[in-house]
Amino acid sequence: KNGFLVRKVHADSDGKKTPRGKRGWKTFYVMLKGLVLYLQKGEYRPDKQLSEEDLKNAVSIHHSLAMKATDYSKRPNVFYLRTADWRVFLFQAPNAEQMQSWITRINTV
């Protein structure tokens, strides 16, 4: 599954709250391949290679959990992703259908 998502980093590994200055929303072209969510920055081109920075942003979704962020009301269509190492991301999808589709795909790999 591929598509644009806007990401906010809420907690770093071990669940520690991400410090201010690193909590902003950023748009990525996201590709779910196997157990890895690749987040590509910048303009999307089908032939574009993942940069070193993109690879650092990649997230393992093995033993992770995605769920609708019902307690987050500042933006619509936002879901949480909690990883096995207790990082927490918020992702905003372009619409409710896409949000549900990402949640289902992440939780059923």
In whole angstroms, the minimum distance from the beta carbon of 35 to ligand I3P comes to: 28
Distance CA 105, CA 5 (A): 14
State the binding string over 25-64 for ligand I3P (x if CB under 6 A, else -). Answer: x---------------------------------------
Contact flag: residue 22 with ligand I3P (CB under 6 A): yes
In whole angstroms, the minimum distance from the beta carbon of 24 to ligand I3P comes to: 3
Distance CA 14, CA 64 (A): 13
Distance CA 81, CA 9 (A): 10
Q: Which residues bind ligand I3P (CB under 6 A)?
A: 20-25, 74
